[in-house]
Every structure is written in structure tokens, then in C-alpha cells.
Amino acid sequence: MALDRHDPIFMAPPAGPNPELMLSAVLHLMSHYTANHSADGGCVKLAAVIERHLKALASLPELAPVLRATCQQLTEQWAQVVERQLPVPERSSFLARFMTRTRAVASAA
């Protein structure tokens, strides 16, 4: 996807947190996540970026209370999306670890 550098979102001054720009960005990211969501699940990195944007918005005191509360709720929901998409680390049982160690000792002897 090519970025249009003449889009007003790129013309905004970089000084300080700009709630409107942050909200615009997170809505943009969310629409891309939805548009690119496949049967395999969405992009975990994109979901994590959305979560971080929402968390940052929820912490801005100048944001209207209803928007801060909404962003906080959405932060929690996106955190769950990220958590569900992360690969589950393989946990080995005690017996499997014991057998692996026993095989290693036996092959060294």
C-alpha cells in the first residue's frame, strides 16, 4: 500500500500529543486490521500497535471522559486480541523433560 504524503495526517506539526491525530491514526489502523483480517487471524503486530495507541489515548487528561473510558475499554479488548494471536509456547511435561535429560546422559556415556 502506497502512502500519500500529501494527506493532511502527514502535514500535522509533530509537537506534543495531538488527541485528534492519535484518534485518527488508531481508527485508520483499526480499519486496516479489519480489511486485512483473514480466516487465519489478523496481524498480531498491527493489533499490538492499535492497543498501544488506545492506551496512549486513554491516558490523555485533555480527552473527553467518555472518549478516555471508551479507549480504556477498547485497550483491554485489543489486549485480548493480541494475547489470543500470540503463539502458545510449548510446555513440556515433567516426564518429557526427564526423558530428554536421561537420553542426553545415556548418549554421552
Please say whether the beta carbons of 77 and 69 come within 8 A: no
Residue located via cell numbers 542426553: 104
CA nearest 26: which of 61, 56, 2, 68?
A: 56
User: Per residue in 79-105, pLDDT tens?
Assistant: 998 888 877 767 667 777 777 776 666
pLDDT tens, 30-86? 887 776 666 556 788 888 888 999 999 999 998 889 988 999 999 999 999 888 887
The pTM assigned to this predicted structure is 0.60
